[in-house]
Structures are given as C-alpha cells and as structure tokens.
C-alpha cells in the first residue's frame, strides 16, 4: 500500500508553484494586503471591483498556506457554539450572525456561477449531528438556530439513513456547498477584473511603518507605500504583536481516505457535536476527506497520534475496505468567543485593518471578510461590520510597541550597506552586458567591420561567422561558470539569479552545438570527422572541444533533472564536471581559435581564464572550510556564542536553543552538528519540535520538510529555505555564530 502524501490533494492541481513575480521595486497603491489566502484574494477582488489599486504581498505563494490546507466546506454555520453565543450576546446576535454568513455564502455562490469558474462547485446539505438520540446539546442548538435560519430542519436517524453517516439526531441545513479552493482562487484571478490586482509572491514583509500619511511595507528587495494596510495573514504579522494574544493557535488534522468501492456517504457536509469534533465530506466518488483531533499548540502532547484517531474513526463508522492517500494539518486561530475579528486596528484608525480568527469556517467567512473590509476601507456602511469589531468582546488591546523600521531591519539583516548593495546591483548587470558585447565587437573590428561579409553566399557567411559562435559559446559559458562558483554572494544581490543561471545554461548549449554544426555545414561531415579543418598538432584540442560539448550536455541535463528522485542525491557530483568543462573549453579555444591568438581578444581570453581559475580556488576554499572547520585558536576573533553542551544534543532529536535574540534548532547528525532557524518559513511553526528522519526535519504544524544540514526545503508546503548558522565544537561546548 503506498505511503500517504503529506499534503492536501488540492495542491495536485493547480500545481503548487509561483505564478507571480517577487517584488523588486518600490510601488504606490491605495491598499496593500499582507497575505494571499482566501481572505486576501477576496478582499483584493472586492476592492478592485470598485476601482481601487491593490497590491497583495504573499510570503510564500498564493493559496499555499492554511487556505490550501482546508477541507473546503462552504457552510454558513459559524464554527462556534451558537447556544453559547446566544447566552453571551442574546438571540439577536445569532440571528445577525447567520444573516451575515448566509449573505456571504450566497454572494460566493453567485460569484462562482456568474464568473463561470470551474472549481468543482456543488450545492448540498450539511448535517450537525449527535450519535445519540435525545442529546440535550442538539435541543439547545435547535432552539437557537431555527429562529435564525428558516432553511433548517431537525432530522432523526430514519430521515438521515440515506446519508450513510452515523446520525441519530441532527440539524440539517439546505443550500450549503463545497468546492475546490485552489481552482476557485486561481480561476478568480484569471478574470479580467483581477488584472487590476498586483500580486507578488515569495515576498516577505520584513518591516511595516505606520504614520499619519499611511503605511510603508518593506520587503527584502522593494517596498509598497499605500494609504491603507489590510492584514490577512492568519495570525497577525509581527508588526502587530499586540494583537497576537487575542488568538489561540489550534492545529486540526486531516486525511483523505480512498475506498475500494464507492464512498459510503452522500455528497453532503457532516460534523458531529463532540469537542473536538470530527468533520468530513466526499472529495470524489471513491474518496472522503476527514478532519478532527484538533489540538491547541501551546498544550500539544508529543505522544498524541492524531492521524491514528482519524483512522479509528473511519474503521469504526465506515469499515468498508479503504486506504489513506493524503495526510495534512492546518492552523485554526480562535478568539475567546470563536468568532473572527474583521475590523480596523483600534490604534491605527483608517490606516490598518485586520481579519483573523475564522476558526473552522474560513471559506465562507473569508469571503464575508472580503466584503466587510472593502466597505470599511471605502467608508461604506456595512450592516455586519459591528458584529466582528474588536469592541464586540470588550477586550483591551495595548498600545503597539515600536516595530523596527525599514532602515533598522535592513541594517540588522544585511552586512552590506544598502547604497553599496544598490551599486553592485547596477554595476554587475552592466558589466555582464559589456562582456557579451565585447567578443562581437572585437571579432568584427579585426575584420574591418560587417562589410567583409558583403556579397558572399549564405554558406560562406555561415562558415565565416562560425568562429564568432564559438567565441560566444565560451563567453556565455564563462558567465555561467562565474555565476555558479559565486552563487552564495550573487544570491544576496539577485534573488532570481538561480533561475537565470539555469536558463543561461540552455543558451550555452545552443551556442556550443551551433559552433560545430556551422563548421560541418561549410566543410562537410566527412572533413569534420577526419579533422581536416586543423593541423595534426591541433587535433587533440579539437577532440577536447568535442568532449566539452558532451560534458556540457550531461551537466545541463543533470541540472534540469536535479529534482528527480534518482538524481536528488547524486546530481551535484555530476555537476562538478563543470570545473573540467571550463578548463577543457578554455584550452580548446585558446589553442585552436585564430581570434584568441592575436590582438585584444587574446587579453580578453586571458581575463576569462584568470578569473575562472580564481573562482575555482575560491569555491574550493569554501568547500574546504566546510569540510575542515577552523580550529578554536583560529576562531578567537570570531563571535561565537555557546548554546549547548555536546551531551544536550541527542542524535536524531532536535534541540531548541536561543542566542542573540534568535530562536534556533540544533541538530546532531553523524559526526557533525548543525543549526538552522527555528521558525518555519511557511507559517512560523517551531522546527525544533518536529520529527527528524536522517537529515530531514518536519515542521510539526503543517508538515513542511527541511534539510537540517543546509536549511533547504525538501517538502511542501514551505517554499523558502531556513537560515543556516555556523556551528563549532569547542571542547564539550557547542558554539554558534550568526
């Protein structure tokens, strides 16, 4: 039986990948939204409908957070105890609450149908049920909900028998729904109206400044200035830490179960009245999605086995032959009455708005939040806004503490001054362009300009420019080689450099293949294979060029397929052949190229060779430092901090440590110790509380996996790597350096 996939089935399609750019400039907008889940997207959609300019900043990618980990119930029933709400606020609150969710639900349904979004949407019923007849809790629920929503009915086991669910007593609601959340959001964003929304993915808000004029959201490579900010990040952003105590973080666990025959339940929504409760629905004719075993993060018991609880539920109530295909978990953020806050910040009136605390009804209430927030921002009266304001619970929110400004954030995160960084970000591309122009300029200058090709037949022209193609094959190879050997430094300046590096490799290959093909076109294949185009003494250099083309094809194919299972742990060793490739190609071009023997081209080639060798030496030096760490005596001027003793770190078990105000996860693997950031880049989960397997650690919140030796992501839903720290052993002490 196959091992379950550790993510939700929603990520199978549309695929979980970036679709929008990283923010690399400064922008201005009417509104900036932090968070690209259903709340952020629906709010942006509503604002765009009214002609406002909107920028959405997402730390990972759209719909990759808890929105992508939902079970996608489209229910108007709030995920709270309605009898408790009636007792605390009165029956009128329940009536208004169901009116708000009903309006939002119908608006969401209309959007799907009017925009013709193909998202597996269907209307259905929902059942809130007890396993026992005569359950007083069902009486209490019925007493308040029948007054608030006339589309409800009380059903018993006989009436509910056709559902296949273990229902003894239930409240059934008509006109509920279900859909595929990611198909919906991406379908919505493809509509013409959404083109007004500017979305930036893999863009973290590193600083937020609120002043009398509006807000400034600073990211690693850009900034957004806006009149208003809307925070839709689940748990509010660090800049608004004063709001975080209002929410209790709970993890809910979900799995999809595939039955050998048809799913034994009707195509409806189900949840029981236990605490915590179980909830489930059909995904397709053979698959059920089941959730439950909710656990408060602050009181998590490491011995708890939530997926085992879900499996026991399936075995007990649906014993038909089945197997688990997916397992995942999502975050719920609960307020004290388990209703969300959708309101302006009490200390930043008319500048900052917050939406959080949706409990288990993030789909319908997320859509509702979009409408309410859009109205609040536009100063339009919304009949439901007061239901979800911070004033509802009468809770005191302290005055915000000063949050680091953009300049202080940049100073703490970057060793390179900003002005110097900007200088290199301009200088390096200009230098790259100049290098690309130079071989062509020198080639044609040495021949008196383009006129030497005038009047010649095309085959002769191709033969005459074949050396130029070879010159460019090596020039682009040199640039490719310099990128690869200096990648750690270049990534600090250009986050996109790895993609450029991969793309450029394809151009190297195209030029490298075109070079001999042009020669063959001019002299014939027989002359080429017998090396009649060079003297006998130069034949070894011609062979070296042919070997280089083969190595190039091998290394580029390896790089493109590096994520394949059979290459994941081996591709780098093959990729090291690039060092031989550079040396072989330089020797080939230096000895066999007529242009590299004379004039200024000769000095350019000497420059290429010298810088290439220096880069190789630097790369070897980095590898040696990693393989053979410095001794204690050589580190006396480096700032290392003791974080633990050797005996504190058990192999295969992460250790939580703190130093210099940072939370770090420490690992013991074989003969080495490693340290990476303790905060998951997906949703902030504690890495040091995760399970370890080999060199992989899994975040305990949503299952993202990281390589503990590098910090790189090896499993979804995280996209960005974790920072790795330098670790040394001094006697019995483990020390860490920033």
What is the secondary structure of 195-263 as a DSSP string?
A: GGEEEE-S----EEEEETTEEEEEETTEEEEEEEEEE-SSSPPGGGGGGGGG-EEEEEEEEEEEESSS-
What the block records as the tokens of 476 is 């682009």
Q: Are 737 and 694 in contact (CB under 8 A)?
A: no
570-579: Cβ within 8 A, 24+ apart: 577/551, 578/481, 578/484, 578/551, 579/616
What is the C-alpha to C-alpha distance for residues 85 and 101, in angstroms, rounded to an integer? 15
pLDDT of residue 672: 86
What CA–CA distance (Å, rounded) separates 430 from 697? 41
pLDDT at 570: 65
- pTM attached to this predicted model: 0.66
Write out the two tokens for 731: 């006697």
The per-residue pLDDT for 198 is 96
* β 222-231/352-356 pair status: parallel
Domains and CATH numbers, the chain: 9-72+180-245+337-412 (3.50.50.60), 414-627 (no CATH), 635-737 (2.102.10.10)
Mean pLDDT, each 10-residue run in order, the chain (738 residues): 85 87 92 97 96 94 92 97 97 97 97 96 98 95 96 95 97 97 96 93 92 91 94 92 94 96 97 95 97 90 88 96 94 95 95 96 96 96 95 89 50 52 86 92 89 84 88 92 83 75 86 91 88 88 91 82 62 78 91 85 92 88 62 50 86 87 89 90 88 91 90 87 88 81
Report CA-CA distances (Å) from 78 to 126, 374, 468: 12, 21, 70
Cβ-based neighbour number of residue 680 at 10 Å:
26
330 close to 210: Cβ distance less than 8 angstroms: no
Give the neighbor-by-neighbor strand order of the sheet with 672-677.
Answer: 641-645, 733-737, 724-730, 672-677, 662-669, 655-659
Among candidate residues 426, 422, 427, 424, the one with its CA nearest the CA of residue 410: 422
At 271, is the secondary structure helix, strand, or coil?
Answer: strand
Q: Could you count the other beta carbons within 10 Å of the beta carbon of residue 478?
A: 23
Q: Any idea what the Cα angle at residue 124 is, between residues 121 and 128, rounded to 5°? A: 125
d(CA 39, CA 373): 10
Predicted pLDDT of residue 624: 72
**Integer Cα distance of 409 and 412 in angstroms:** 5
User: What's the pLDDT at 412?
Assistant: 41
Q: pLDDT value at position 625?
A: 66
Instruction: Give me the helices (H) in 266-417, please.
Output: 306-317, 362-377, 406-413
Distances (CA, A) of 268 to 107, 162, 165, 279: 20, 11, 10, 11
């Amino acid at each position: 039986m196959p091992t379950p996939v550790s993510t939700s089935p929603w990520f199978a399609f549309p695929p979980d990948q970036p679709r929008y750019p990283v923010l690399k400039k400064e922008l201005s907008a009417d509104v900036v939204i932090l968070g690209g889940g259903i709340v952020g997207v629906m709010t942006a959609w509503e604002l765009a409908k009214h002609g406002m300019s909107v920028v959405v900043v997402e730390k990972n990618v759209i719909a990759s957070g808890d929105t992508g980990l939902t079970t996608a119930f489209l229910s108007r029933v709030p995920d709270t105890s309605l009898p408790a709400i009636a007792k605390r606020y009165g029956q009128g609150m329940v009536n208004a609450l169901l009116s708000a969710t009903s309006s939002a639900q119908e608006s969401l349904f209309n959007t799907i149908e009017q925009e013709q979004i193909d998202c597996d949407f269907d209307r259905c019923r929902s059942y809130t049920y007890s396993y026992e007849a005569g359950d007083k809790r069902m009486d209490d629920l019925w007493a308040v909900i029948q007054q608030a929503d006339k589309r409800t009915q009380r059903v018993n086991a006989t009436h509910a028998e056709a559902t296949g669910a273990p229902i003894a007593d239930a409240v059934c609601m008509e006109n509920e729904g279900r859909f595929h959340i990611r198909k919906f959001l991406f379908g919505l964003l493809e509509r013409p109206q959404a083109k007004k929304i500017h979305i930036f993915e893999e863009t973290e808000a590193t600083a937020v400044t609120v002043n009398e004029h509006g807000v400034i959201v600073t990211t690693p490579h850009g900034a957004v200035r806006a009149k208003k900010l809307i925070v839709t990040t689940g748990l509010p952003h660090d800049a608004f830490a004063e709001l975080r105590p209002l929410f209790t973080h709970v993890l809910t666990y979900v799995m999809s179960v595939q039955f050998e025959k048809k799913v034994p339940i009707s195509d409806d929504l189900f949840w029981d009245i236990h605490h915590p409760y179980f909830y489930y629905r059909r995904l397709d004719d053979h698959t059920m999605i089941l959730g439950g075993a909710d656990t408060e993060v602050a009181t998590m018991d490491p011995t708890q086995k939530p997926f085992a609880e879900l499996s026991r539920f399936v075995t007990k109530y649906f014993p038909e032959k089945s197997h688990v295909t997916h397992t995942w978990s999502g975050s719920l953020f609960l307020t004290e009455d388990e209703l969300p806050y959708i309101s302006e910040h009490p200390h930043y009136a008319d500048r900052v708005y917050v939406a959080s605390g949706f409990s288990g009804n993030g789909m319908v209430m997320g859509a509702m939040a979009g409408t309410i927030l859009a109205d609040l921002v536009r100063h339009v009266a919304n009949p439901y806004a007061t239901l979800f304001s911070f004033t509802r619970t009468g809770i005191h929110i302290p005055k915000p503490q000063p949050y680091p400004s953009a300049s202080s954030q940049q100073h703490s995160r970057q060793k390179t001054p900003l002005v110097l960084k900007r200088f290199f970000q301009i200088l390096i591309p200009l230098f790259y362009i100049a290098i690309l122009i130079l071989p062509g300029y020198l080639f044609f200058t040495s021949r008196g300009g383009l006129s030497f090709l005038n009047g010649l037949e095309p085959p002769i022209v191709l033969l005459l420019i074949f050396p130029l193609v070879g010159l460019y094959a090596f020039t682009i190879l040199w640039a490719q080689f310099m990128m690869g050997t200096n990648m750690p430094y270049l990534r600090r300046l250009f986050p996109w450099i790895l993609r450029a590096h991969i793309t450029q490799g394809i151009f190297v290959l195209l030029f490298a293949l075109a070079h001999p093909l042009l020669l063959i076109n001019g002299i014939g294949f027989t002359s080429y294979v017998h090396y009649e185009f060079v003297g006998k003494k130069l034949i070894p250099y011609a062979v070296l060029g042919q070997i280089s083309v083969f190595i190039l094809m091998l290394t580029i194919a390896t790089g493109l397929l590096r994520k394949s299972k059979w290459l994941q742990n081996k591709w780098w060793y093959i990729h090291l052949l690039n060092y031989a490739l550079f040396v072989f190609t330089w020797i080939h071009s230096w000895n066999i190229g007529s242009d590299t023997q004379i004039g200024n081209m000769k000095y350019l080639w000497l420059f290429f060779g010298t810088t290439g060798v220096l880069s190789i030496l630097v790369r070897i030096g980095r590898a040696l430092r990693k393989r053979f760490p410095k001794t204690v005596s050589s580190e006396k001027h480096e700032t290392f901090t003791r974080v633990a003793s050797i005996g504190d770190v058990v192999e295969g078990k992460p250790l939580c440590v703190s130093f210099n105000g940072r939370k770090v996860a420490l690992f013991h693997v074989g003969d080495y110790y490693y340290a990476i950031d303790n905060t998951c880049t997906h949703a902030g989960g504690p890495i040091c509380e995760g399970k370890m397997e080999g060199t992989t650690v899994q975040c305990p919140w949503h299952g993202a996996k990281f390589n503990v030796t590098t910090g790189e992501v090896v499993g979804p839903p995280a996209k960005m790597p974790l920072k790795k720290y330098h670790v040394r052993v001094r006697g019995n002490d483990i020390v860490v350096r920033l």
